[in-house]
Structure 1
């Protein structure tokens, strides 16, 4: 298996090459490239490899410029310090997205994934459910990363991942964090629902939008409803009507 590494940090590229050949002695790193311009030239003039390890931020620009200038045939494993290019990466031949600093097990897992994908497609098997789910999620919006709130005469940024749930109280939208702090926000709950990740947040009812990570227990309740217990207290008891039970349980299971 011939491999090309496109990485502008020479020390990182050398370390990656050594790790690859240790894990796959049969592999050969045929080129190490630091720039978009050189990568385009190499992939145009030389036989394309079996696999490419590629950083996002190169010495003269973003790696996605390579795909605009030359047809890249082999699969790509992206190794980067940036977590917000995942969707672009998977649209550009990406089969895995590793965040630096990567470890031996990360590289080994990515190489194993390549072998599994080759096995599936060589036997013309349909996409397995796990891969179908991955592709579905990649097509979903990533979701708003943070919310700006105003408290005690200060503007504060609250990361979305720290928010346990959003709720309506006295016709005002509030958010409560996992450390049990409440903040008001200007957006109505319908707007919040539209900008957060639908795989991470679920609209239980008219008043509550909850984070998956905040769900602690789900119990059957009267009239075929569900009673939802979160990891932190809520102002009211959280109930889901029978008409949304199947949808909610599907969200819990397929997230």
Structure 2
């Protein structure tokens, strides 16, 4: 695999190249570039690599200016010290967003993600991919849940569920009206029945409805704080390693 590093700090670029060589000896870094201008010139003259590692803030501006001049068609792994550009990075072919200082495990996980995407599209070409997309587009998930409370069976429509969380040892449905119902399934089972487009698994404890999200803001240690329209027993926090995936989910509506 041919790769390109776009990073304005020479020491950081060299360190990244050494780490790439250690984790994936088969990856050949063809060039290390420090500016928007140099990246545009290189890509215009040499064509597209198979993978790009890109810092956000370069010596002459933000890396997103590169995309205005060159059509980048390969996956991009963004490596930056700034968390506020994650959404723009996702829109710009970003398959991962590594916050500096990132670890060897972080880079290994990014490579695995790139390889996973590559294998997927190799296996799902032609009609196979079209069928998969068609299946995803019509998968609306479970429409309602049957619950039991106060000696009565009730049906709770899925679109009335704000979030589902583990209360003591069992999942509990919480509606937009603040009503709460214990259900006799695991949270994993519930998640598998819901539309992945509409409900997001924040962590082991919480599944949230997109419609219930009131706001998302930056929190300490590069985390995100998610606030819902309905109160939750505890703060809903997303770790820095999962922020890009969550923002991508928000974007894909």
The bucket for the TM-score relative to the shorter chain is 0.5 to 0.7
Per-residue deviation, 1:123: 1.1
Q: Is the 8 A contact 1:52 1:77 kept in 2?
A: yes
Q: Is the 8 A contact 1:54 1:78 kept in 2?
A: yes
**Pair 202,107 (structure 1): closer, same or farther in 2 beyond 3 Å:** same
User: TM-score, normalising length from structure 2?
Assistant: 0.56
The alignment covers a number of residue pairs equal to: 161
Q: Is the 8 A contact 2:7 2:34 kept in 1?
A: yes
Per-residue deviation, 1:54: 0.1
Q: Is the 8 A contact 2:95 2:114 kept in 1?
A: yes
Distance 1:133 1:97 in 2: 22
Distance 1:97 1:120 in 2: 20
Per-residue deviation, 1:133: 5.0
Partner of 1:122: helix, strand, or coil?
helix
Distance 1:135 1:19 in 2: 38
**Pair 160,39 (structure 1): closer, same or farther in 2 beyond 3 Å:** closer
**Pair 68,105 (structure 1): closer, same or farther in 2 beyond 3 Å:** same
Matched residue, 2:229: 203
Matched residue, 1:99: 99
Distance 1:102 1:77 in 2: 12
Per-residue deviation, 1:30: 0.3
Partner of 2:78: helix, strand, or coil?
strand
Matched residue, 1:51: 51
Partner of 2:232: helix, strand, or coil?
strand
Report the RMSD for the aligned CA atoms in angstroms: 3.5
Higher relative contact order (CA 8 A, sep 6+): 2
User: TM-score, normalising length from structure 1?
Assistant: 0.55
**Runs of 5+ in structure 2 lacking a partner?**
140-191, 201-209, 238-253
Per-residue deviation, 1:135: 11
* 1:38-89 deviations in Å (ceiling 9; x for gaps): 0000011102110000000000000000000111111100000000111100
> How do 1:1-255 and structure 2 match up within 5 A?
1-124=1-124, 126=132, 143=215, 145=217, 200-204=226-230, 209-210=231-232, 213=235
Larger radius of gyration: 1
**Runs of 5+ in structure 1 lacking a partner?**
147-158, 162-195, 216-255
Per-residue deviation, 1:136: 8.9
**Pair 62,211 (structure 1): closer, same or farther in 2 beyond 3 Å:** farther
**Pair 15,136 (structure 1): closer, same or farther in 2 beyond 3 Å:** farther
Partner of 1:84: helix, strand, or coil?
helix
